[in-house]
Amino acid sequence: MSEQLILAADKIAAPSISYWALLPMLILLGAATVGVLVEAFVPRSARHPVQVAVAGLGLLASLVAVVALAVGDHARTGTTFGIKTAPNVVVIDGPALLLQGTIALLGLISVLLIAERSLEPGGPFVANAAVVAGSPTDREHSASADSQTEVFPLTVFALAGMMLFVAANDLLLMFVALEVLSLPLYLLCGLARRRRLISQEAAVKYFLLGSFASAFFLYGVALIYGYANTVTLSGIRTAIDESPSNDLLLLLGLGMLVIGLLFKAGVAPFHQWTPDVYQGAPTPITALMASVTKVAAFGAIMRVLYVAFQSVRWDWRPIMIGIAIISMLLGSILAVTQTDIKRLLAYSSIANAGFILTGVVALTPAGVSSSLFYLIAYGFTTVAAFALVMLVRDADGEATHLSRWAGLGRRSPVFAGVFTFVMLAFAGIPLTSGFSSKFAVFSAAAGGGAVSLVIVGVIASMILAFPYLRVIVLMYLNEPAPNGPDIVIPGLYTSFALTVGVAITLVLGVYPGWALDLANRASEFVR
Amino acid sequence: MNTSSFPWLIVLTVLPLVGALAVACLPPAAEALAKRLTLAWTLLVLVVTAAIALGFDVNAKRFQYVTSYPWISQFGIRFGFGVDGIALVMIVLIAVLMPVVILASWHDGRTGTRSVKTFFALMLALESTMIGTFVSTDTFLFYVFFEVMLVPMYFLIGSFGGARRQYAAVKFFLYSLVGGLFMLASVIGLYVVSSNAGHPSFAFSDLAKLNIDPGVQKWLFLGFFIAFAIKAPLFPFHTWLPDAGAAAPIGAAVLLVGVMDKVGTFGFLRYCLPLFPDASAWFAPVVVVLAVIGIIYGALLAMGQTDMRRLVAYTSIAHFGFIALGIFAFTTQGGTGAVLYMVNHGLSTGALFLVVGFLIYRRGSSNIADFGGAAKVVPWIAGVFFISGLSSLALPGTNSFVSEFLVLLGSWANQPVATVIATAGMILAALYILLMYQRTMQGKLNPDLPEMNDLSRREAVVIAPMIVLILALGFFPKPVIDVIDPAVKATMQDAGKSDPVPTANSGGRK
């Protein structure tokens, strides 16, 4: 026994780590740490601009690093990407790079929304989160122009976790990344300046249910370790291939693992948190969760399913098809009954998660690339949608109840025009990214033999068109409500975020070729 | 000119869109300028269309002015444009109707909730998308135009329509969108079939060559068929049309019923028959039954209407029954008659809607009961109303007679029972048109009628070309038939049908 230990100790050498490949994540973690130091050392009055600069530049640098990595790796190896580093627990392959780039860019846009302070004094975040909501001190604070600038390092930590999440080739590391991305999000949900109790309720709900999901994930990892004796994805794959038959441990573990991941992605029937949290969280954070978190969660789902569990696909595929169907139908049907724009978008995101799953279960390279494309397209449209929601305000802050939106088309034609475009994109009208991405996943699914999914998907799209259309009708064809909300002229940050979101929605609809090509070339997971 | 590679059809499609943007960019106060610019622009489009039509060689190959550029190469999607005879007569119809409709809508934009220039910009955008659906030869591109076409029409009805405009606009949009999504499922199916057969392509010429498994064909056919049947509209998918037709501003209603609905019947001919020949044959009895029900049902309901616009909308449902019957009879006469019917219906119903619009403008109501004996006050309007009505009921000498006769002739060979029942529809047509004319124009003068001026000069200019075309095509339809016929023959060939040879004793063997 002791001999073995000594032998093992001899073998331990410093792992070779390609820091170059980890650079995007390292930059983000560094920026987040700097952000924490800023909180400690920079005077309160100067914190906001400094934090915005640190987070923004960090994300920009990280994005540049991802691009440089992709271009450099492409030049070196020719066609495929694939760096395994930190003894095989992190993989920087095509999907990882594409998703990391998407996360960085969407994260940057979300940070701009978070930084926006021109819509109301102090921005959308509470001045002092530790004060009891509704207390005299709280009322005093709510009038001040301060806000908790800790949101910036928290956001950047979450984004770093997401980047790691999509590149993790090891279930334990994936779990760590999951927690790194989740914990800041729980906190961020509770920091709204207005309607603090709803916001805090959302945070608690998200935290409790999220903890359950994490527990499921961890339990799944334990069971799979029991089966495969390893937690690396490639190791699990080898173990499955070598094992003569399916094992209960494996299937149970896989099920638990997937439940944890589907929860993060907001897929029905693991979606219950989504509407409440989307509604309660500060809108920029909702934008972050609806776009970037979804990208990260689906990246991880695809990696786990395609890399580790490819061999038992006939066991999980029917179940995933069922889940996709439930998610599409449930999300679209419940979206019809919503009266709050944020809840409507939440249910639509559940349906859209089902659409993405449609691509995932195609089990072909086209399936991967179309899902990646969908994630990118949907992410930008969603950010634009929530950015627009931020602009409709009355004396109580954002006016999210749909009845308040009546007649906005007449009072603010530009806003209504842009929002109509975004709604049409969600509804999947051609010449928007919503259409090209739906077409991509549906054709991939049909090509992969999942015709039933395509039919359900088309039906769900029909149902889903109704709530979107209703918003358009409300804005254009209804009489404006007396003392209705105003459209606030967006500041520079929001304008920029909005422009990028809408422009990408349009470009990916009219000329999606280059992005599809990019997704195609990045569609191969390294095993 | 046909062999030149200049992309005439792309120019034709984009031209109205450019006009729409130009009109939209005018200052809101410049109402008169917006109207004049729109009218001039539609005349320009008419000139370009005329040039294209003159350059079309009837005896040359089916598709002319063919251009194709890659769009989304991953899916084999291309900007494919080209016209055959069927598409050509449709774009000519659009180009002719547009200036007429713009002139007829001179005062319409002001009644809406949005600015006048928006109305005219939307009309031009609508023209662009309608032309696009007829000239695209890439199935995917066709689908895109098919869907995008809804957006301007939706806002035209919703923002400038009559009393129930919201309800009508949403119903119209949802019906069409649902149909479109069925078609999308089939388009995806076609993509899968074509990529399994080699390289993915949406080009009509490539798809027509595919030999699709009959079982698969049925499903793909259904997706396209439902979309087109809603668009056309065929019984029982028709309920949106009376609402939309009654709520839309008159100009938009003419385009909606006169042109946009023809996309459905055009789709039957261009996509359903050639791409899914086996399925078309299999479903034909069902379609024919629906068509005949539509003819009778539309006519009966038209008779029961108290609102002139709803009445005209219901007559269209009957007429679309005839068109569908002609198409699914699988004979060249039937097909040619159906296409000619598409053109003639655009003219006669267009004229009818325009005259009804004149009357509504004067009386402020479209209720039949609010008129009565009006011919004594406005004899000229009564006259054009009568001629338009006669065209709609297919009196010999008017354009519709030729097409209706051809349809019945063509369908007799394959569908004798349906043809006999459909013929009864002609009698009903006479009833609903003449009853409407009698109740509004003849009899005792309604004392509630306000002072009404007769046909103004602008209105005369609007209605004159319609009346001229109605009579001209009634007496000399040959040029149009010559253009249509080769394309219909090719379609029937693609569908694997040859005309049954009529024999002298086929009816008298007993």
- Amino acid (1-letter code) at residue A198: I
Give pLDDT, residue A26. Answer: 93
- Chain B environment of A461 (Cβ under 8 Å): 181, 184
Query: Among A156, A176, A124, A118, which Cα is nearest to A33's?
Result: A156
Q: What is the mean pLDDT of residues A386-411?
A: 86
Class of residue A19 by CB neighbours under 10 A (exposed 0-12, middle 13-18, buried 19+): exposed
Residues composing chain B: 510
- Chain A environment of B182 (Cβ under 8 Å): 458
Q: What is the mean pLDDT of residues A102-123?
A: 89
Work out the mean pLDDT of chain A and round it to a whole number. Answer: 88
Give pLDDT, residue B128. Answer: 93
Angle, CA of A164, A356 and A184, to the nearest 5°: 35
How far apart are alpha carbons B373 and A482 in whole angstroms? 46
Separation in Å, CA of A424 to nearest CA in chain B: 10
The answer to which of A175-184, B104-113, B259-268, B436-445 has the lowest mean pLDDT is B104-113
Does residue A427 surpass a pLDDT of 50? yes
Give pLDDT, residue B112. Answer: 63
Tens digit of each residue's pLDDT (9 = 90 or more) over A358-380: 999 988 888 999 999 999 999 99
Does residue B9 surpass a pLDDT of 70? yes
How far apart are alpha carbons B411 and B295 in whole angstroms? 14
Query: Among A163, A141, A145, A143, which Cα is nearest to A62's?
Result: A163
How far apart are alpha carbons B194 and B8 in whole angstroms? 29
Contact by Cβ (8 Å): B228, B268: yes
Give pLDDT, residue A173. Answer: 93
CB contact under 8 A, B158 and A442: no
Tens digit of each residue's pLDDT (9 = 90 or more) over A334-360: 999 999 999 999 999 999 999 999 999
Tens digit of each residue's pLDDT (9 = 90 or more) over A212-237: 999 999 999 999 999 988 999 988 99
Q: What is the mean pLDDT of residues A143-170?
A: 91
Q: CA Rg, chain B, in Å? A: 22
Does residue B2 surpass a pLDDT of 50? no
Give pLDDT, residue A83. Answer: 64
Q: Classify the complex by whether its ipTM is higher than 0.85, answering yes or no.
A: no
Does residue B507 surpass a pLDDT of 60? no
Which residue's entry shows tokens 């969760």?
A: A289
Give pLDDT, residue A105. Answer: 95
Does residue B503 surpass a pLDDT of 80? no
- B326 CB within 8 Å of a chain A CB: no
Q: What is the mean pLDDT of residues B498-502?
A: 62
Is the omega angle on the peptide bond into residue B233 within 30 degrees of 0, that is, cis?
yes
Greatest alpha-carbon pair distance for chain B in Å reads 75
Give pLDDT, residue B510. Answer: 40
Give pLDDT, residue B509. Answer: 43
Give pLDDT, residue B109. Answer: 66
Class of residue B196 by CB neighbours under 10 A (exposed 0-12, middle 13-18, buried 19+): exposed
Does residue A430 surpass a pLDDT of 90? no
Contact by Cβ (8 Å): A107, A155: yes
Q: Where are the alpha helices (DSSP H) in A396-512?
A: 408-411, 413-427, 433-447, 451-477, 492-510
CB contact under 8 A, A511 and B71: yes
- A446 CB within 8 Å of a chain B CB: yes
Q: What is the mean pLDDT of residues B362-390?
A: 86
- Chain A environment of B191 (Cβ under 8 Å): 443, 446
Does residue B1 surpass a pLDDT of 70? no
Does residue B426 surpass a pLDDT of 90? no
CB contact under 8 A, B148 and A430: yes
Does residue A503 surpass a pLDDT of 70? yes
* pTM of the full structure: 0.86
Does residue B508 surpass a pLDDT of 50? no
Query: Among B124, B311, B156, which Cα is nearest to B248's?
Result: B156
Beta-strand ranges (E) seen in A362-432 are 392-394, 397-398
Residues composing chain A: 527
Highest mean pLDDT among A424-433, B68-77, B91-100, B373-382: B91-100
Share of chain B above pLDDT 90, in %: 22
Give pLDDT, residue A244. Answer: 67
Tell me the DSSP string of B441-490: HSSSPPTT--------HHHHHHHHHHHHHHHHHHH--HHHHHHHHHHHHH
How would residue A462 be classed by pLDDT, with cut points 50, 70 and 90? confident
CB contact under 8 A, A455 and B174: no
Give pLDDT, residue B132. Answer: 92
